[in-house]
Structure formats: C-alpha cells, structure tokens
Amino acid sequence: MDQLEHDRSAILEAGIAEISEHGLDGASMASIATRATVPQDAVDAYLPNKQALLDEVVGWMVESVSPMAQLRYDPARPFAQQLRELAELEMELIFDPKKIPLSRIVQGEAMRAPGRGMELLMRFADKEGSIQRWFVDAAADGQLGDLAPNVAADTFTGMLKTPHYWVSIILWAPPPDAAVQREVIDRACEFLLCRLQKQPA
C-alpha cells in the first residue's frame, strides 16, 4: 500500500468514526485530519466537502455488503440449510455495530432530500437484488410452491429486521445480543418453512 492509499484509508476510517459520533452536520473535517493523523490538505483533497464524505461512507457500506451480492442458491444443497445461512448472513450485515450509526445517517439523508433516497437505494441494489434472486432461483427449483419469490423474500427479510433493527435505528437501542439474533433467525426460518409445508393441495 503506497502512502496516498494509506492516507485515504486512514481518512475514510476517521470519517466513519467522526460521522458515527457526531452525524454528518456535526462532523468536522479538521477533526477527521486529527483522527487520521494526516495533514488537513490531504483531507481536503480527498474529501472537499461533507457530501463527498457521505458518498465515500456510502461506498464503504456498499462494499461491506458485497458477500450478499455473491450469494447464490444451490439446488444441490438442502433448502432449509441454505435458508438459515442466508438469514445468518443478513443478520450479520444488519447488526454490524460499525454500520448501525451510519445507517441512521444515510436514512436521514435519504429522507431529507428529494431524489436522494432513490439514489442511495440504487447504490444498495445489488444486496437487495441478491436476496430476491436467491428466492427466484429457489422457486425455479420448486422449493416455494405457490409462494411468489418476491413475497417470500420480503416477508423473510422483514421478519429478520422487525422489531430489533428499527428499534436500534430509531430509538438508538443497542443491537440484540447473539442469543436474541439466533432466536429471530429461528423464528423467521421456522415461519417460512411452516408456510411452505402447508401449501394448498
């Protein structure tokens, strides 16, 4: 890693910490330079304004969910086993403690500016599309019966997020511990598998 790349990595890490603690409006470029232990002009060259800071943070968040974008349904493996692995990966991404404060900021920015929400949604489209694609492929393999893939995907991910994710985002509650996360995963998987076992004849 050359010096420029090292400095940019340090600046991004410092920027993430800064807006996690103070929000976008309260973030200080001077504080980012201090945190990153780089000259102020290096920060100014990489992040000329707070919009650039937000864009870089969103880019980091998109990159951090890339394991979900690589997800593929495998017809040679048991459906229930893959469903649980999908749930565990989604739960890990949802409750990453480093991303929770950033999610608050990104969602706040999406609601503040017309058109901004769609722009941000499109940047995360690979993650959401990967989950939908997984269920489409499972349906093509005959695993969903009469249940539409988009309904299965939305219901499943909704159960993983509700209520703990929104409580963490809106009420600033701490993320659920590992035992609670396992319970949520168990409940979501059991619900979907039970629904599939009770298909109309």
- The 10s digit of each residue's pLDDT in 107-128 is 887 777 767 767 777 777 666 7
Query: Among residues of the chain, what percentage have pLDDT more than 70?
Result: 94
Residues 144-172: what's their mean pLDDT?
90
Residue 109's pLDDT is what?
Answer: 79
Q: What is the mean pLDDT of residues 130-157?
A: 94
Task: Determine the length of the chain.
Answer: 201
pLDDT at residue number 201: 39
Share of the chain above pLDDT 90, in %: 52
Q: Specify the pLDDT at position 48.
A: 92
User: Distance (Å, rounded) from C-alpha 32 to C-alpha 183?
Assistant: 39
pLDDT digits (tens, 9 = 90+) for 33-58: 999 999 999 999 999 999 899 888 88
pTM, 2 dp:
0.81
Predicted pLDDT at 110: 77
Give the span between the Cα atoms of 177 and 16, in whole angstroms. Answer: 23
Asked if pLDDT for residue 200 goes beyond 80, the answer is no
* pLDDT score of 130 more than 90: no
Position 172 confidence tier, pLDDT thresholds 50, 70, 90? confident
pLDDT exceeds cutoff 70 at 153: yes
Q: Which range among 135-144, 173-182, 190-199 has the greatest average pLDDT?
A: 135-144
